[in-house]
Structure 1
Amino acid sequence: MSVFVGFFVTSGAGIQAMLALLVLLLPCTLLVAAGLVSQTRVKLNLVWRVAQLGAILAIVTAILSALSVWLYGSASVSVDAFLPTVRVDALSCLMLLLTSFLGWVILTYSRHYLAGDQGLRRYLCWLCLTLANVWLLVTLNNLFLVCVAWSTSSLTLHQLLIFYKNRPAALIAAHKKFIISRVADVLTWGAALLIYLQLNTLQIEQIPLALAALPQPPIGIQIAALLFVISAILKCAQLPFHGWLLQVMEAPTPVSALLHAGIVNIGGFILLRMTGLIETAPFAQLLLVVVGSVTASLAALVMMTRISVKVMLAWSTCAQMGFMLLEIGLGAYALALFHLLAHSLYKAHAFLSSGETVSRRVVMQIAPANHRLNTSQKLLAITGLMSGISLAACLTGLDPRQDPSIRLFGGVLVGSLLPLVNAPYAQRAWSQILLLVTQAFGLALVYGIWHFIFLGFLPPAATHVSMFGLIFAGSCLFGLLIVQQVVLSQPQGALSRWLHPRAFAGFHLDEVVTHLTLRIWPARLPVPVKTKLLKEIV
């Protein structure tokens, strides 16, 4: 095979070819595990070990692939004429490392969480198939195969969401998600078809080159970009198509972790992979900014009214996805990738440790935080926050004059830390101020270093940032900050009393979508579930 030929011709090309072959073989370990599940004679301990071994091999492969990118650069590797091309670059390596690590954690957690459950074999089969599709999705270079993997991962996840088939709420929520995802799949396939008809290629790394050779992007390409954006909006649970994300909480906790930490982020990954296409349609970029800004603002307000841990985390995911799409719409690709990775790790930990929330609350009550800042100390803390962020920006070369979106995201960072200025702490006031300034400087410095590193790996924004988009996003996020501060400072005020019932109801956006989806395609529940639902209603 060409792997061995490449190895003797050029060491770098040979190493990347072997890694590409290994990447293609990784899902086979999960497919073997899924096949062994159906064999009742095979002990489940062996199946768990095979699946976990596959995840560990994927982690090692991702690390080795990242080293090859650092040493030899990015490449699209064709192992053999009969095998698909693999994209070996920073984005695919990071996403493979993220999804394989999350897969290993979720497999390990599920092994103990669902021990003794009657449907354990069925659960493990669909979990392995879902992870296998995700690994293929983040590494393949052919747009057609990426669309196949995206659709298939959604279908296998659906089987996990309806794991408890006797729960009507879970079945109806999964049915809504199924309809919305199928609409998104149709849009995605339509976009891929338009790209092939216009550019005569489906190789992802060839699409920007083909677009650069055109004097002006044709209308078909702009429509394809818009279809990809709408598909990502649907699958990232943006308002008003967000209800299913909140209502699938009756699935097992590791499934929720997989959904919120992995699957729902795929829309952002696809857009990052297709940035050259998205930039040909300014309207599509503006749509990302508008939808992302509105979703992030409204979902954050709704989250303030929730007391259920998992529902609060679901609204948080909705808001975070909105902010990630906003970043992509404004061309902040490095920040969007950083956001995607950080949110995935945080949300996986939050869901898998949600059972310890009560224990943590008890500890907080035992050692309450009573130290607050006075007015002068608050002003000093805010000044320190802004100074720390500015210093970090100077040290890492972030220049707001060259990229106006840096001003917006710097303001968002300051605004996100402002609630900590008003919050009580266990430490004394001056220790609290020092901690806040250190946090602001550290966060800004980490992003600045990340931006500097990935400047050579991710393509810079090729189009001018829309001033209307910046103003709209800034207005939404600044309005959110003002409303939050007023509500927190005056919880019994007129604004709080007016806002709370509306925000608690999710501004009644999901009811309209639910009515339409169930009217177009009613959910068909099993007879025992219908009987149970009727008894609950009566």
Structure 2
Amino acid sequence: MLAQVLFVFGPLTVAGLFVTAGLLAAIGPRKVAPVWALIISMGALGVALALALVSLTSSTAQPMGAIAAPLAQAFLVDSLSATLLVLVGFLGVTVIKYSDRYLDGHPRQPRFIALLCLAVAAVAVLVTSDDLLLLTSAWIISSLIVHFLLTFDGARRQAVAAARKKFVIARLSDLSLLVAVVILITGFETRSMTDIMQIVRTDGSSLPAGIGPAALFIAIAAILKSAQFPTHIWLTEVMEAPTPVSALLHAGVVNAGGFLLIRFADLLLLSPITMFSIATVGGLTAIIGALMMSTQTSVKSALAMSTVAQMGFMIFQCGIGAFSSAALHLVAHSLYKAHAFLAAGTPMARKIPTAVPSSIAALAFVTMGGLYVGIAALLGKDLWVSPAIAGLGMIVVFGITSFAAPLFRRLRTVPFALLGGVGVTLIYFTLQSLTAQLLQGIVPPPGSMALNGLISLVAMVALCGAATFAQATGALTLRQRDGALYLLLFRGFYINTLWDRIISLWPTHSVTSHRRTSYE
């Protein structure tokens, strides 16, 4: 009975508690309202945890009578939505708690915390929606609330400019999703995402027209939402907004694009052109973002470029059909990036890896690559059966090897490098297996790939291998003396200049009602 209640009322309860926390923060007594908002948010996290535990041990419950029927049809509770709901709740509680201290004494603190709570509530609805109209509404509302958070201090012109760029790009994303939803509802004559995916899986021979365009518009919506090159510019400029907003954006809202692709995985697989486009855009964004990150001079700017690169890699994983890997990446990146931004004010020493001769680097890469293949064989992993998982694992090994290569200089330190390689490989395959089991029946398993996807994967592995090898040997260490290339990457290929000209058409009003506040 409890499981049935949680399945039907759990998602709405979590969102409702965050809305309640936001309202209390806005209208409650100033001294105690933030504390009560935090307590209520922790209650929402508790409900999300209970729902996640139940979802792992129970099947989807049947609706409890006429009153519960609309809720059961509107929300979808499975291991994916339950996991993401816990993630959203945890990030929400963390950011709200941080904001209580961060804006302590600020005259508009209640409004800020209220907006944060409402944004988290909208995202909670987004990740648990089964009704396409509800999903689209949550998609749009969460973006609009984030816009108000970005413009929280109107005197910060750079933050306002970033918000306006995001506003334009987000509305294009909203429009793309709306078009896709209209096509799907018209073609399948249902608003249930579960019903549509079930038809796609079981009756692929008699699908309605418009599947290809619907998949393409879903991909466009996700790409625009996830700050893919060249629409990434707003994500790198939100540093002027309060730190909790940056954390919420980089750890939460920007991941919505990846979530959308994962949810519509079966539909996307029916359009090879769309999948190839997703992989191409994601791969280019990952590589360009990583190169631009290497030129940044501040912690927050480097973190922003890191998010661009990571979002690109996640979208690339979706493009090659590794949707379970993308889900794992989404969760891991969210947790890491929330911590990174909220701790960005803490001074950290940045150690640049020691360059090694090309012969040493070659030995390191061959050894670690062989170790990866050998461990996969011992674990019974047939890399040819799932080339996507094999290729992604090789990229991870390349990244570790670029930092471990100096250990191959001396014989006594080589075992440490090998031990690290064994550990990373075991962790990689373990997490991939656990995620695949968790999402079994929800997303299609990574298997054989179409030629387009295989070409994308091979190209990505080759580029990452070449880049990490160059990094290990010092050939990719970009400094100001490198001139045009450094400046081009540092300026983001001057795409931001073009966007500045577009946004300059938006009238700017001077802000005098609120004094500029230093948050740092």
* TM-score (normalizing by structure 2): 0.89
SS of the residue aligned with 2:349? Answer: helix
The 1:248–1:398 alpha-carbon spacing in structure 2 relative to 1, beyond 3 Å, is: same
Given that residues 74 and 88 in structure 1 are in contact (C-alpha distance below 8 angstroms), is that contact kept between their aligned partners in structure 2? yes
Measure how far apart 1:87 and its partner are: 1.2
SS of the residue aligned with 1:87? Answer: coil
Match of 1:389 among 363, 372, 375: 372
Match of 1:416 among 399, 405, 420: 399
Structure 2 letter corresponding to 1:36: L
RMSD of Structure 2 on Structure 1 (CA) = 3.1
Uncovered stretches (5+) of structure 1, i.e. residues with no partner:
1-6, 8-13, 534-538
Match of 1:433 among 413, 417, 433: 417
Say if 2:471 is the partner of 1:482: no
Measure how far apart 1:126 and its partner are: 0.6
Which residue in the other structure is 2:341 paired with? Answer: 351
> Which deviates more, 405-414 or 431-440?
431-440
Match of 1:27 among 1, 4, 15: 15
Match of 1:333 among 312, 323, 333: 323
1-structure distance, mates of 2:31, 2:480: 58
Structure 2 letter corresponding to 1:63: L
The 1:206–1:397 alpha-carbon spacing in structure 2 relative to 1, beyond 3 Å, is: farther
Q: Within 5 Å, which residues of 2 pair with 1:283-298?
A: 283-298=273-288
Given that residues 52 and 79 in structure 2 are in contact (C-alpha distance below 8 angstroms), is that contact kept between their aligned partners in structure 1? yes
2-structure distance, mates of 1:150, 1:493: 40
Alpha-carbon displacement from aligned partner over 1:318-339 (angstroms, at most 9, x marks no partner): 1111111111111111111110
Q: Within 5 Å, which residues of 2 pair with 1:229-268?
A: 229-268=219-258
2-structure distance, mates of 1:129, 1:253: 17
Given that residues 241 and 510 in structure 1 are in contact (C-alpha distance below 8 angstroms), is that contact kept between their aligned partners in structure 2? no
Alpha-carbon displacement from aligned partner over 1:110-150 (angstroms, at most 9, x marks no partner): 11111111220110111111011111111121111011001
Alpha-carbon displacement from aligned partner over 1:417-439 (angstroms, at most 9, x marks no partner): 122123579x9624532443233
Alpha-carbon displacement from aligned partner over 1:157-186 (angstroms, at most 9, x marks no partner): 111111111011111110010011011111
Which residue in the other structure is 1:110 paired with? Answer: 99
Say if 2:147 is the partner of 1:161: no
Alpha-carbon displacement from aligned partner over 1:507-527 (angstroms, at most 9, x marks no partner): 223333443x426xx223222
Which residue in the other structure is 2:128 paired with? Answer: 139
Given that residues 170 and 249 in structure 1 are in contact (C-alpha distance below 8 angstroms), is that contact kept between their aligned partners in structure 2? yes
Alpha-carbon displacement from aligned partner over 1:341-381 (angstroms, at most 9, x marks no partner): 0000010111011111x2x329x7xxx998x8788875664
Measure how far apart 1:454 and its partner are: 2.9
The 1:219–1:436 alpha-carbon spacing in structure 2 relative to 1, beyond 3 Å, is: same
Q: Within 5 Å, which residues of 2 pair with 1:170-209?
A: 170-209=159-198
SS of the residue aligned with 2:239? Answer: coil
The 1:442–1:377 alpha-carbon spacing in structure 2 relative to 1, beyond 3 Å, is: farther
SS of the residue aligned with 2:228? Answer: coil
Which residue in the other structure is 2:199 paired with? Answer: 210
SS of the residue aligned with 2:345? Answer: helix
Measure how far apart 1:473 and its partner are: 4.0
2-structure distance, mates of 1:173, 1:494: 26
Measure how far apart 1:459 and its partner are: 2.6
> Which deviates more, 270-279 or 64-73?
64-73
1-structure distance, mates of 2:493, 2:102: 35
Which residue in the other structure is 1:65 paired with? Answer: 51
Measure how far apart 1:268 and its partner are: 0.7
Which residue in the other structure is 1:469 paired with? Answer: 453
Measure how far apart 1:228 and its partner are: 0.7
Measure how far apart 1:151 and its partner are: 0.4
2-structure distance, mates of 1:45, 1:399: 60
Uncovered stretches (5+) of structure 2, i.e. residues with no partner:
none
Say if 2:452 is the partner of 1:450: no
2-structure distance, mates of 1:414, 1:77: 47
Given that residues 241 and 513 in structure 1 are in contact (C-alpha distance below 8 angstroms), is that contact kept between their aligned partners in structure 2? no
Structure 1 letter corresponding to 2:281: V
Say if 2:264 is the partner of 1:274: yes
The 1:393–1:448 alpha-carbon spacing in structure 2 relative to 1, beyond 3 Å, is: farther
The 1:413–1:380 alpha-carbon spacing in structure 2 relative to 1, beyond 3 Å, is: same
2-structure distance, mates of 1:186, 1:423: 50
Given that residues 301 and 480 in structure 1 are in contact (C-alpha distance below 8 angstroms), is that contact kept between their aligned partners in structure 2? no
Which residue in the other structure is 1:149 paired with? Answer: 138
2-structure distance, mates of 1:309, 1:494: 18
Structure 2 letter corresponding to 1:408: G
2-structure distance, mates of 1:266, 1:287: 18
1-structure distance, mates of 2:413, 2:113: 51
Alpha-carbon displacement from aligned partner over 1:372-403 (angstroms, at most 9, x marks no partner): 87888756644552344334434554322212
2-structure distance, mates of 1:507, 1:369: 26
2-structure distance, mates of 1:440, 1:36: 45
SS of the residue aligned with 2:335? Answer: helix
The 1:402–1:463 alpha-carbon spacing in structure 2 relative to 1, beyond 3 Å, is: closer
SS of the residue aligned with 2:227? Answer: coil
Structure 1 letter corresponding to 2:290: A
SS of the residue aligned with 2:506? Answer: coil
Given that residues 322 and 446 in structure 2 are in contact (C-alpha distance below 8 angstroms), is that contact kept between their aligned partners in structure 1? no
2-structure distance, mates of 1:155, 1:294: 28
Structure 2 letter corresponding to 1:26: V
The 1:526–1:282 alpha-carbon spacing in structure 2 relative to 1, beyond 3 Å, is: same
Alpha-carbon displacement from aligned partner over 1:252-293 (angstroms, at most 9, x marks no partner): 111100000000001111111111221222111111101001
Measure how far apart 1:94 and its partner are: 0.6
Structure 2 letter corresponding to 1:429: T
The 1:314–1:220 alpha-carbon spacing in structure 2 relative to 1, beyond 3 Å, is: same
Measure how far apart 1:109 and its partner are: 1.0
The 1:158–1:392 alpha-carbon spacing in structure 2 relative to 1, beyond 3 Å, is: farther
1-structure distance, mates of 2:255, 2:10: 24
Match of 1:323 among 313, 321, 330: 313
Which residue in the other structure is 2:383 paired with? Answer: 400
SS of the residue aligned with 2:444? Answer: coil
Given that residues 188 and 208 in structure 2 are in contact (C-alpha distance below 8 angstroms), is that contact kept between their aligned partners in structure 1? no
Structure 2 letter corresponding to 1:319: A
Aligned length: 508
SS of the residue aligned with 1:205? Answer: helix
2-structure distance, mates of 1:229, 1:303: 25
Structure 1 letter corresponding to 2:10: L
SS of the residue aligned with 1:355? Answer: coil
The 1:508–1:373 alpha-carbon spacing in structure 2 relative to 1, beyond 3 Å, is: closer
2-structure distance, mates of 1:144, 1:64: 27
Alpha-carbon displacement from aligned partner over 1:38-77 (angstroms, at most 9, x marks no partner): 43xx323432233323332233223322332222234675
Which residue in the other structure is 1:87 paired with? Answer: 76
> Which deviates more, 145-154 or 277-286?
277-286
2-structure distance, mates of 1:61, 1:457: 24
SS of the residue aligned with 2:229? Answer: coil
Alpha-carbon displacement from aligned partner over 1:83-109 (angstroms, at most 9, x marks no partner): 353211110111001110111111111
The 1:62–1:158 alpha-carbon spacing in structure 2 relative to 1, beyond 3 Å, is: same
Which residue in the other structure is 2:34 paired with? Answer: 48
2-structure distance, mates of 1:77, 1:226: 34
